[in-house]
């Protein structure tokens, strides 16, 4: 989940939706503040639920 400084940048850039994969710091005050800022600015927040267990990237 984006930190509060990133949330400010997201809001200022006009992004309307944040899709996140992990929220491992959900209980920290900075993450709570980030969520409040995003919601107050009308940015929707949703967790990505992967359809697959793994993604393989092959660069060879």
pLDDT digits (tens, 9 = 90+) for 8-55: 999 999 999 999 999 999 999 999 999 999 999 999 999 999 898 888
pLDDT of amino acid 46:
96
Q: How many CA atoms lie within 13 A of 29 on its CB side?
A: 0
| Dist. CA 21–CA 9, nearest whole Å | 19
pTM of the model: 0.78
């Amino acid at each position: 989940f984006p930190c509060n400084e990133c949330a400010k940048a997201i809001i200022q850039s006009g992004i309307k939706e944040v899709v996140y994969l992990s929220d491992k710091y959900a209980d920290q005050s900075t993450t709570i503040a980030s969520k409040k800022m995003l919601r107050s600015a009308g940015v929707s927040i949703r967790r990505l639920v992967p359809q697959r267990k793994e993604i393989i990237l092959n660069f060879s």
